[in-house]
Amino acid sequence: MDQPAQRTLNGSATLSGIALHTGHRVRLTLHPAAAGTGIVFRRTDLPGRPTVAASIHHVVDTRRGTTIAQGEAAVHTVEHLLAALNALGIDNAIAEMDGPEPPVGDGSSDPFVQMIRSAGAVEQGTAREFAELRDILYYQKDDTRLVAVPDERFRIACTVKYGASQMDCQYLSLEVTEDSFVSELSPARTFCQYHEIEALVKANLIGGGSLDNAVIIKGQAILSRDGLRHPDEFVRHKMLDIVGDFFLLGRRLKAQIIAIKPGHPGNVAMARLISEKLGI
């Protein structure tokens, strides 16, 4: 069977807004890129406009988001943008930013989906590469467990359980396609529990967080501008993060990821195991 062709954007698209953790106002522009480029971030605010490729080998931090760095360039919280690029089939793009973190938008991937669709996509004359898993891989640390199982498609089965009544045990399983991502995962927003906020602020995180771009759980109450978009929005957002973090493999994954209480540290650790196993 013929391999599908790589794809890039058919034009450029721009989004401006506040970044979640740094709190900076940032302008992000997505541009087309040549076949084989992958996803590359360019920091236009730094001398020389340095770049960092979206690669599992460039991950330097996974606290409440995934940060990549290469040379003088670092980019925080790449997962929501990468999830949209992954699910919408964009293999090659340049993401120009005049700050260290993409705009958070509403805390979901929807703003990035809209950017990509406004730019359109075009096929390129080079076959797409896949990360095709042939063996079962396991990762476990504390309460987090991930299993990667060979599959002909990219599927996720995810369970979250935090002990708080509004979040207590959510489960969802689906095959990740453009349609399923856009309808089921992309609208799910980032979230935290109320008691975590003080520690996050002290860690110089969520500097741009607000009820406009996050959901906060306080006991029995859900704090957000418009309630929940799905009753199980939290597990959906964790799956969104998985779609983004695993695109750091630099190619689309053919496997089923079974995840229990996942987070960025576990996602990146499993992606590294897959990278080592496949030599990519």
| Structural domains of the chain ordered from first start | 5-127 (3.30.230.20), 130-278 (3.30.1700.10)
Q: Residue 135 pLDDT > 60, yes or no?
A: yes
Decide: helix, strand or coil at residue 31.
strand
Closest CA to 190 of 26, 54, 18, 20: 20
Contact 108, 238 (CB under 8 A): no
pLDDT for 219: 67
CA distance 96 to 91: 16
Q: Residue 193 pLDDT > 70, yes or no?
A: no
Decide: helix, strand or coil at residue 270.
helix
pTM for the full model? 0.93
Per-residue pLDDT tens digits for 83-112: 999 999 999 999 999 999 999 888 899 999
Token representation of residue 213:
């771009």
In this prediction, residue 228 has a pLDDT band, given cuts at 50, 70 and 90, of confident
CA distance 16 to 21: 15
Per-residue pLDDT tens digits for 46-72: 999 999 999 999 999 998 799 999 998
User: Where in the chain does DSSP place strands (E)?
Assistant: 5-9, 13-18, 25-32, 39-43, 51-53, 59-61, 67-70, 73-75, 93-97, 121-127, 130-132, 137-141, 144-150, 154-160, 170-175, 191-193, 215-218, 221-223, 252-260
Q: Residue 82 pLDDT > 90, yes or no?
A: yes
pLDDT for 103: 92
Active-site residue set: 264
| 3-class SS shares of the chain: helix, strand, coil, % to 5 | 25, 35, 40
Considering only residues 12 and 202, tell me which one the structure prediction assigns the higher pLDDT.
12
Average pLDDT over residues 194-218: 60
For the ranges 164-173, 191-200, 206-215, 269-278, the one whose mean pLDDT is highest:
269-278
For helices 79-87 and 110-119, give the axis angle rounded to 10 degrees: 50
Token representation of residue 162:
């935090």
Q: Residue 273 pLDDT > 80, yes or no?
A: yes
Q: In the chain, pLDDT over 70 holds for what percent of residues?
A: 86
Per-residue pLDDT tens digits for 5-19: 999 999 999 999 887
Q: Residue 195 pLDDT > 70, yes or no?
A: no
pLDDT for 271: 99
Token representation of residue 65:
């988001």
Q: What is the mean pLDDT of the chain?
A: 90
Q: Residue 154 pLDDT > 60, yes or no?
A: yes
Contact 82, 29 (CB under 8 A): no
pLDDT for 208: 58
pLDDT for 2: 72
